[in-house]
Amino acid sequence: MKRPLLIIIGAIFVIILLAVWVYVLLFNTPTANEEEFTDLDFGNDTDVTLFPAGTDEDGVVNPEPIVNVNGLERLKQLTTEPIAGFGEVATENIPDAVRYVQIGTGHIFEIDLETGEEERVSGTTVPGSQIAAFAGNGESVMIQSGYGAGASFTVGVIGTSTQDITTAQIFEPIVSFTGTQSGVFLYAAQTNNSVVGKSYDPATLVTSTLFTVPFRDATIIWGSEATDTHYAYPKTTALLESFLYEVQGNLLTRLPIDGYGMSATGNNEFILFSKQTDEDYQSFTFNKETREIRPHTQTQIPEKCVFSTITLSSSFCANTSINFTDLAPDTWYAGELTFQDSLYQTFNDVSRSIVLVDSHDQTQQNIDMTHLSLGAQDAHLYFTNRNDRTLWMYVVTPISLLQDADIE
C-alpha cells in the first residue's frame, strides 16, 4: 500500500476518534441515577469527621448537653478540647455559666452550669490564640496570640445580638495580664530595665499607669482590682535568690520574704510562699498583721493555689505528695515534673488542711491542676489540667444552698 494512502487512512481514523470524544464530552451527560464507577465495596463510608464541641459540620450550635453538671460527683470535666482561658458568668452572685476561649481560633463558647448545654457566643477568629482572660461578667476578653517577641494582644467586647466581638489591639510587650470584675484589664509591660503595671478599660479605650517594678524579669501577682494590693518578685529559679515586693498604689515595699527558688501568692491578710532551704524545698505562710512566718501544712507550689474571696485566711491548693529536689520548682516549670493532684482547702490562721478530692481516684486521669480560680461566692473552683489544657470544675458549695441563702 502506498504511503499517501496510509496517511489518509490514519488521518480519517484520528478524526473519527476526535468526533467520538467531543460527542461523549458534550452530549452524553449521565443522569442522576447512573452509576459512573465500579462499586469497589469499601464497606461503611459513614462520615466520621470531627467538629468543635457544640457544633456540627455547618458550624450550627448543638443544643444537646455535653457536660453532666447535675451528676453527684463534685469534680467535673467541662471541656475535652484545650482552652486559652476562662471566666464565670453570674447573676445576683449565683453562678450561671462559664465562658472559655478556644485555643488557636479565639472563638468563645459558653457552658450553662444548670443544663450543661454549650453554645458559641463569638465566632470572631483571633488567629494563634494561646492565653486569654475575661473581665466584668464575661462581657470582655483579652487574648494573647503567639508567644515571646512575636506575641500580639487583642481586647474584645462581646456583642449581645451577634456572634462577633468588637476588637482593639494593645501594641506593647506584655508579660502578664488579668481581668477584673469592674471590667478593666490589668497588664504588665516590659521596658529596657523595668516592668510597668497598667490598666486598660475596653469601654473607654483608656490606658493608665499603675506602678513600676525596678527589674525587667518580673512575676506579678495581681489583686482583684486595680486599686488592690499586688505583689511582684523576680522570675523564679532555684539557681537565683528572689525577694517579694508588695505594691500599693505606686508604692513598692519589700517584705521579709526571700530565698532561692522563691515564688508566692497572697491576699490582703496572708501570703503563701515556697523556697529552697538548707534542708529542701519548703512552704511557709506569712501573716501580714502579726508579721509571723510559720511552716505551711504541706510543701506546695504557690502557683497551684488560690485564696478564698469569702474567708481571707482560707486557700485552696492542688498538691501531690512527692519528694522535691533542690531544683524545685524549675523541674515543674520545664515540664519535667508532672503531678497527680488532690485538691486541699487550707485554713492558714490555724495551720490546718483538709482533702476535698483526690482527682485520680475519682477520674482515673492524671490531672496537674493549674490556673485555679474561684467563682461567685466561692461556689465553684475552676482550673485547667496542665497536661492537656482542658477545663475542669469542682463544686465547693452546692448551688441549692446558695439559692436558699440570703446573699447581700
Q: Which long-range contacts (CB under 8 A, 24 or more apart) does 55-64 make?
A: 55/120, 59/120, 59/123, 61/118, 61/119, 61/120, 62/118, 63/117, 63/119, 64/117
At residue 35, the pLDDT reads 34
- Cβ(314)–Cβ(346) below 8 Å: yes
- Using only the alpha carbons of the chain, give its radius of gyration: 29
The C-alpha cell of 45 is what? 463510608
What value does the mean pLDDT take over residues 126-135? 98
SS (H, E, C) 188-200: EEECCCCEEEEEE
Whether 242 is covered by a domain: the verdict is: no
Q: With cut-offs at 50, 70 and 90, classify the pLDDT of residue 139.
A: very high
Residue 30 lies in a domain: no
> At a CB cut-off of 8 Å and minimum separation 6, what does 356 contact?
74, 316, 342, 343, 344, 345, 394, 396
Report the pLDDT value the prediction gives residue 14, as an integer from 0 to 100. 67
Residue 224 within a domain: no
| Domain of 153, in residue numbers | 55-171
- The answer on pLDDT for 44 being more than 50 is no
| Residue 167 shares a structural domain with residue 290 | no
- Structural domain contains residue 407: no
Report the range of poorest mean pLDDT among 19-23, 248-252, 291-295, 397-401: 19-23
Tens of pLDDT, residue by residue over 321-361, are 899 999 999 999 999 999 999 999 999 999 899 999 999 99
CA dist 179 and 182 (Å) reads 8
Of 124, 151, 171, which closes a domain? 171
Residues 267 and 162 occupy one common structural domain: no
Last residue of a domain, one of 148, 171, 194: 171
How many CB atoms are closer than 10 A to CB 322? 11
pLDDT > 50? residue 400: yes
Residue 319's CATH number: 2.120.10.30
Q: Which of 119, 143, 171 is the last residue of a domain?
A: 171
Domain membership flag for residue 379: yes
pLDDT at 77 over 90: yes
266 and 394, same domain (yes or no): yes
Residue 237 falls inside a structural domain: no
User: Do both 277 and 386 map to the same domain?
Assistant: yes
Q: Answer yes or no: is pLDDT of 32 > 70.
A: no
Task: Give yes or no: residues 267 and 375 share one domain.
Answer: yes
Highest mean pLDDT among 51-55, 160-164, 354-358: 354-358
Per the listing, cell 488542711 goes with 353
pLDDT classification of 4: cutoffs 50, 70, 90: low
Q: What is 345-391 written as a DSSP string? A: EEETTTTEEEEEEEHHHHHSS---EEEEEE-GGG-EEEEEETTTTEE
Q: Would you give the end-to-end CA distance of the chain in angstroms?
A: 111
Q: Tens digits of per-residue pLDDT, 186-201?
A: 999 999 999 999 999 9
Element spanning 213, H or E: strand 206-213
Co-location of 167 and 269 in the same domain: no
pLDDT value at residue 66: 59
How far apart CA 170 and CA 162 sit, in angstroms, is 24
Tens digits of residue pLDDT in 233-243: 999 999 999 99
Mean pLDDT of the chain: 87
**Is residue 113 very low, low, confident or very high in pLDDT (cuts 50, 70, 90)?**
very high
Residue 408: inside a domain: no
Whether the pLDDT of residue 163 is over 50: the answer is yes
> Quick check: 367 pLDDT over 80?
yes
CB 268 within 8 A of CB 221: no
User: How does residue 213 score in pLDDT terms, banded at 50, 70 and 90?
Assistant: very high
What pLDDT was estimated at residue 304?
98
Inform me whether the pLDDT recorded for 116 exceeds 60: yes
Spatial neighbors of 203 by CB under 8 A, at least 6 apart, are 157, 183
380 belongs to a structural domain: yes
The pTM (predicted TM-score) of the whole model is 0.82
Low-confidence winner among 48-57, 203-212, 335-344 (lowest mean pLDDT)? 48-57
pLDDT tens digits along 278-324: 879 999 999 999 999 999 999 999 999 999 999 999 999 999 989 99
Count of domains observed in the chain: 2
Share of the chain above pLDDT 90, in %: 75
- In the block, cell 508566692 appears at 264
